[in-house]
Structure 1
Amino acid sequence: MSVWPAWEVREGERATRWLHVRLSFGDGARIDVLATVCEGWVCVEDVRARPALALEDLAVLSDWIEEPLARACGAGTGPDARDDAGGGAHRDRSARPREREWRLVARVYRSAREQGADPVLAVMDETGYSRRGALRAIGRTRDAGLLSPRHARR
């Protein structure tokens, strides 16, 4: 994995940086990402992958590139330094908050199913996520093994 700067724009004390991120895998697959970092926010501007990414892989792309971007922006790699990535307002992505969210999503999802309600709407109401965000959270919860798989494999 490698990260290198593309360009930087400064306006007073505020700076916006564009960074290239390349993930290369042993089987020859490659993902190229152009990310913008500004005042603690990271936005993915462009993604190119060979072969194409599945939706599940695209959903976890931010987890794959988070640490390399943090190092490129001058943040350390320890758990306290990760909050300073890109300028200070970076979300904490340690395992504990994820586990709590997964357990919450699993509990709400199961409860809604038992009551005959729409589980996605229940997760949206409980977490405040949009429909896409709720579906992503449900998918991550399934991946963590807290919910049964969506489709039975034959």
Structure 2
Amino acid sequence: MSVWPAWEVREDERTTTWYTVRLGFGDGARIDVLAVVGDGAVSLEEVRAQPPLSLDDLAELGDWLEEPLFLACVPGPGPAAEHLTSASSRRGRPVWPPGIEGRRRIAQEYRTAQQQGADPVLAVMCATGHSRRRSLRLISQARDSGFLTPRHVRRRSAS
């Protein structure tokens, strides 16, 4: 699988980036996708597959592309990384504070994305540089620490 930026549009403080994604399979099948990352969300603009995808495969396409697109949208070294601190880990992830401060920032990223109508989990993924699974774990820790409201309100039985 390969992902590379196709083009980028900047308007005020917002940036929208189009990515070309190619999935190649051992049997010669291939899928080409034009994906858009902007406003905290990822959308697929165009999908071409040879042979054509079934509806079930098309429904799973987002899961197949999630990690590669996420890795592509995390800024690496260079001008796109201006908002990162000068220190970063070997994998190009932004430095994220541990403990309570990190959980507080997770909650802040999550709530900001919700208020803007964007995907809060994707916002946490892009902010921390972690996978979806790790980001969900961090969000859960922020909930457990009281920085976010509980996911489900427990009902008390009427006695």
The alignment's TM-score, normalised by the length of structure 2, stands at: 0.50
Percent identity, aligned pairs only, is: 57
Is 1:24 paired with 2:24?
yes
Q: Give secondary structure in 1 for the equivalent of 2:66.
A: helix
- Structure 2: any 5+ residue segments left out of the alignment? 76-90, 97-105, 107-120, 137-159
The equivalent residue for 2:34 is 34
Please give the per-residue CA displacement for 1:34-86, whole angstroms capped at 9, x wherever unaligned.
Answer: 000002111100000000000000000000000000000117799x9974478
What residue identity is the alignment partner of 2:26?
G
The equivalent residue for 1:61 is 61
Q: Give secondary structure in 2 for the equivalent of 1:26.
A: coil
What residue identity is the alignment partner of 1:6?
A
Check whether the contact 1:69–1:85 (CA below 8 A) recurs between aligned residues.
no
Cα distance in 1 between the residues matched to 2:123 and 2:92 = 10
Cα distance in 2 between the residues matched to 1:48 and 1:87 = 27
Please give the per-residue CA displacement for 1:73-127, whole angstroms capped at 9, x wherever unaligned.
Answer: 117799x997447855xxx954xx9xxxxxxxxxxxxxxxxxxxxxxxxxxxxxx
The equivalent residue for 1:13 is 13
1:18 CA drift (Å) = 0.3
Cα distance in 2 between the residues matched to 1:24 and 1:3 = 12
Cα distance in 2 between the residues matched to 1:35 and 1:71 = 13
Cα distance in 2 between the residues matched to 1:11 and 1:57 = 35
What residue identity is the alignment partner of 1:32?
D
For residues 60-139 of structure 1, the aligned pairs below 5 Å read: 60-74=60-74, 83-84=122-123, 87=126, 94=133
Q: Give secondary structure in 1 for the equivalent of 2:53.
A: coil
- Structure 1: any 5+ residue segments left out of the alignment? 98-154
What's the Cα RMSD here? 3.1
State how many pairs are aligned.
92
Distance 1:77 1:48, change over 3 A: farther
Distance 1:5 1:11, change over 3 A: same
Check whether the contact 2:6–2:20 (CA below 8 A) recurs between aligned residues.
yes
Greater fraction of residues in helix: 1
